[in-house]
Amino acid sequence: MQKKKSSIGWRNENKDPSLSEVFSSVSVPKQKGIWKKLFAFTGPGLLIAVGYMDPGNWATDIAGGSQFGYMLLSVIFISNFFAIILQHLALKLGIVCERDLAQACRDHYTPLISFILWILCEISIAACDLAEIIGSVLALKLLFGIPITWGVLITAIDVLIILFFQYKGFRYIESVVAALIFTILVCFSFEIISSKPEIFPILKGIVPNPEIIKDSHSFYISIGILGATVMPHNLYLHSSIIQTRDYPRTTEGKKMAIKYATIDSTLSLSLAFFINAAILIISAATFHKAGYTEVADIMDAHKLLNPILGSSLSGVFFALALLASGQNSTLTGTLAGQIVMEGFINIKFKPWIRRLITRLIAIVPAMIVSIVYGEKGTTELLIISQIILSIQLSFAIIPLVNFTGDSEKMGPFVNGPILKISAWGITIIILLLNLFLLYNTLLGRR
């Protein structure tokens, strides 16, 4: 199916579909069966959800749970709500305008602004990939005793995995991701049952506590959680992969696609919330409760789980979930790198070259870090990477909210008054939090 070439409301005409090799490749049933259509649209949400349970979350959640108990659960809950709104806007942009967010920026802004946004986005992807690679290599070391440096090289295999499964069909990539998410879910279900958390403190933790802002360190970790939960590259990714569905490119067809894609996204992010919250709950129920309030390192958390919970399987499940999390995130991160590179600067390479470039952007710094630091300082690097993501988030959110609130671009699908106010409110909150974070970081008030 050929893509319509519309330039209404845009500076430039969009000539190429996003991820052209899989564009409109997943069939959507024409009949009115709700469940069959929902199944057809299930998948993109899962690919997005993996970014909300990546190793960067582990570092921030473990630190938050061990130091502050259940208090920062409210931060995860609010961040997840922000994510649901923003991912809805991203999928709506892709469906209505038939552009991913990177293409939309290229077609709306001047070449200079587009180039700056591209550089900032590449930095955020590199920071995200660094966290995911570190998580994977730590898991390989915990499970098989593989040295950190060799583990970095092994994680490069995901390039070949994506090429193979995308050649077989986009549904295969979604199936691999779903299987890995199921693995993480099983592992954390075991961990959370073993840790026996207290229900009432958990419910209390979901309610925002003013102490979070008053304590500079809890605020610093909270921004890290925000950066780890609402991922900027996920906005680019979602606006692209939703276009893999072969829905009618008509007003009614787009309305139907937005409906089912939003259900897929919301359910998937709810699952991600459970897993993300589980990491903090387990940390609070084990380390904080036992008085280990300074546990912020993934390796230390692994060492302490077995003696505290009294089960030799606790460490194994912990490491297995970490490996699944890291590999899942590198798969989607590599796809996002391709989308960003093609969308912003319209460079066309063969698939294996595109993926090799995006993977090298992350592997090279990860290799340097692993050689210089080894296991030491990896948690600090993970948290810093999430801070970078949070700071870059505004540069992705502002264009997204602006585009989806533009009636000339979106037509009848433009954001309504409530959604528009909510979206800009989220944008302002994130921007102010990041400015406050920078102010405190520069003054050394972490």
Mean pLDDT for 377-404 is 76
- 437, 387 in Cβ contact below 8 A? yes
In this prediction, residue 177 carries a pLDDT of 83
- Listed in order, strand segments (DSSP E) in 197-352 are 245-246
In this prediction, residue 106 carries a pLDDT of 93
In this prediction, residue 1 carries a pLDDT of 43
Mean pLDDT for 231-254 is 91
Mean pLDDT of the chain, nearest integer: 81
Q: Which of 214-218, 238-242, 340-344, 427-431 has the highest mean pLDDT?
A: 238-242
CA atoms within 13 A on the CB side of 129: 32
In 3D, which of 358, 335, 257 has the Cα closest to residue 24? 257
Q: Which of 109-123, 133-147, 337-351 has the highest mean pLDDT?
A: 109-123
- 101, 239 in Cβ contact below 8 A? yes
List the structure tokens of 211.
């102490």
Which of these ranges, 8-22, 90-104, 114-128, 234-248, has the smallest mean pLDDT? 8-22
For the cut 90, the answer to whether the pLDDT of residue 176 exceeds it is no
Which of these ranges, 140-154, 223-237, 351-365, 369-383, has the smallest mean pLDDT? 369-383
For the cut 70, the answer to whether the pLDDT of residue 303 exceeds it is no
- The three-class DSSP label of residue 184 is helix
219-233 pLDDT tens trace: 878 877 776 667 788
Nearest 10 degrees: Cα torsion 176, 269, 321, 306: -160
- Count the Cβ atoms, other than its own, within 10 Å of residue 71: 24
In this prediction, residue 437 carries a pLDDT of 65
261-288 pLDDT tens trace: 999 999 999 998 988 888 889 888 888 8
In the structure, what pLDDT confidence band is assigned to residue 184 with cuts at 50, 70 and 90?
confident
- The three-class DSSP label of residue 26 is strand
pTM for this prediction? 0.86
Mean pLDDT for 292-307 is 67
- Alpha-carbon distance of 358 to 407, in angstroms, equals 35
In 3D, which of 49, 31, 27 has the Cα closest to residue 40? 27
- Alpha-carbon distance of 243 to 445, in angstroms, equals 44
- 121, 102 in Cβ contact below 8 A? yes
In 3D, which of 73, 133, 49 has the Cα closest to residue 334? 133
- 63, 383 in Cβ contact below 8 A? yes
In 3D, which of 158, 75, 67, 119 has the Cα closest to residue 379? 67
Query: How distant is the alpha carbon of residue 359 from its chain centre?
Result: 17
- Count the Cβ atoms, other than its own, within 10 Å of residue 433: 20
Tell me the β-bridge partners of 245.
Answer: 26
In the structure, what pLDDT confidence band is assigned to residue 362 with cuts at 50, 70 and 90?
low
In this prediction, residue 2 carries a pLDDT of 44
Which of these ranges, 87-101, 272-286, 368-382, 392-406, has the smallest mean pLDDT? 368-382
List the structure tokens of 399.
């264009």
Q: How many residues would you count in the chain?
A: 446
Considering the chain, what percentage of its residues have pLDDT values greater than 90?
Answer: 25
In the structure, what pLDDT confidence band is assigned to residue 153 with cuts at 50, 70 and 90?
confident
In angstroms and rounded to an integer, the radius of gyration of the C-alpha atoms of the chain is 21
In this prediction, residue 4 carries a pLDDT of 47
In this prediction, residue 321 carries a pLDDT of 82
2-39 pLDDT tens trace: 444 456 778 777 768 888 888 888 888 887 778 889 99
In the structure, what pLDDT confidence band is assigned to residue 346 with cuts at 50, 70 and 90?
confident
92-442 — its CATH code?
1.20.1740.10
Is the model more confident about 58 or about 235? 235
Tell me the β-bridge partners of 246.
Answer: 27
In the chain, where the domains are located: 92-442
State the first-to-last Cα distance of the chain, in angstroms, to the nearest integer: 53
List the structure tokens of 227.
């950066």
Helix, strand, coil percent content, the chain, rounded in steps of 5: 80, 0, 20
Helix/strand/coil (H/E/C) assignment for every residue in 245-268: EECCCCHHHHHHHHHHHHHHHHHH
306-345 pLDDT tens trace: 666 666 677 788 788 888 877 777 777 778 888 888 889 8
- 343, 236 in Cβ contact below 8 A? yes
- The three-class DSSP label of residue 27 is strand
For the cut 50, the answer to whether the pLDDT of residue 360 exceeds it is yes
List the structure tokens of 410.
């979106």
- 390, 224 in Cβ contact below 8 A? yes
Mean pLDDT for 291-306 is 67
- Alpha-carbon distance of 91 to 243, in angstroms, equals 9
